[in-house]
Amino acid sequence: MKNPLKQIVTVQKQGKAVGIYSCCSANEHVIRAALKKGKDTGSCVLIESTANQCDQYGGYTGMTPADFRSFVYRLAGEMQFDTSLLFLGGDHLGPLTFADRNEEDAMQEAEELIRCYVSAGFTKIHIDTSMRLADDPQDEKLSDEVIARRGARLAKAAEDTFFRIVLKENPDAVEPVYIIGSEVPVPGGQQGEESGELQITSPDDFRKTLHAFEQAFLESGLEHAWKNVIGIVVQPGVEEKDSGCVEYDREKAAALCAALKDCPQIVFEGHSTDYQTKLKLREMVEDGIAILKVGPGMTFALREALYALAYAENELYGYQSSHFIEVLDDAMAANPGYWKKHYAGSEKEIMLKRKYSFSDRCRYYLPDTNVIESRKKMMRHLENGVPLNLLSQFMPVQYVRVREGTLPNRPKDLIIDHIGDTIDEYLYATRQQELFREVSQ
């Protein structure tokens, strides 16, 4: 069955500024918020997992791709979301987490990773082979030809899995579409000090990458797979920082976006679009950056909501409160592995970044046992609702909705609604409700 996501390219090439946002998160609250917004607006939902979140060994979430699919579909079932409108994607699939091995070992693991994602029913596959492996020269950039050759090898693994296994088990299975390229930081965000001006992908580099992949696919007998390549990752000049972001400047990206007009089957995929304003996001979609990836921006909103509830709880319970904020920071301080390479500065500056950085390394610690127990205690304390005066103080937007009767005064509902405000920015930009209407026709 043709993948409906190909409609993104169709409507873009018709001159319609319609796209889709990709929810890159394994957090239950975030996924529920995405599904709720999809249900409320009648639009499709795209949820993606990265190679380090879920792999054949469980990743840092402890879930294989099949586990992740079951998890998302369970939530969709609980929320009565139409799963025909639900798409799962695999992000940065390649030898990312096996880069300390020689090419053959790393690529065999990457092939198995791809097989796991495709066999689990993921239908949007980002092939990323841009990283150096152990036996690659460490003092020079990988050539487009090497990256493309490895990418074609993974595409072949995906195609073989789909046509020899998936399609035989389910003749109505949706075939995968592919995203190529990786002009972005590794999954998880940039490391170290905030850098200077980002280097926007040049039109020549874009064309060379596209040509190298096309040649590699065709030489590998992957003509059909090449027809299902719908997007390429480029750097249009966006990135989040600890206390802000590099905003999209369409004038600086104009030459890159103009080059897209010569490519009838391709749109751009933009990573690290977190914290762009809805107007900037809208400009990106208008300029052909039709797939907008967002991850930390979603969990940052979750963290905001949890902190707001913690402040209200502390006013009510004082010493007997859950001390959620302190428990979360203690977990981060005790195990700095997920944030140490990302936060720099004085002790005070790092402490502030642990709590409030836009890169949101907090998200890696929410599954910590002590953090979970603290959160549950806070939710129990507030299960009968947040007093309106405290709700007005700490969650003023949700306060208004509670007063108007459109939002239940329950902690989980308040959290999901707050995350939904971030999703609204993306729905404004993508107009993916119109994409669904196009698909349904």
Q: What is the pLDDT of residue 183?
A: 72
Q: What is the pLDDT of residue 196?
A: 57
Q: Does residue 84 register a pLDDT over 80?
A: yes
Q: Does residue 438 register a pLDDT over 50?
A: no
Q: Does residue 192 register a pLDDT over 90?
A: no
Q: For the chain, give the mean pLDDT.
A: 95
Q: Does residue 264 register a pLDDT over 60?
A: yes
pLDDT-derived band of residue 225, with 50, 70 and 90 as boundaries?
very high
Percent of the residues in the chain that have a pLDDT greater than 70, as a whole number: 95
Q: Does residue 227 register a pLDDT over 80?
A: yes
Q: Does residue 440 register a pLDDT over 90?
A: no
Q: What is the pLDDT of residue 32?
A: 98
**Tens digits of residue pLDDT in 5-61:** 999 999 999 999 999 999 999 999 999 999 999 999 999 999 999 999 999 999 999
pLDDT-derived band of residue 182, with 50, 70 and 90 as boundaries?
confident
- The predicted model scores a pTM of 0.95
| 40-49 burial code (b ≥16 CB/10 A, e <16) | eeebbbbbbb
**Tens digits of residue pLDDT in 391-406:** 999 999 999 999 999 9
Q: Does residue 195 register a pLDDT over 70?
A: no
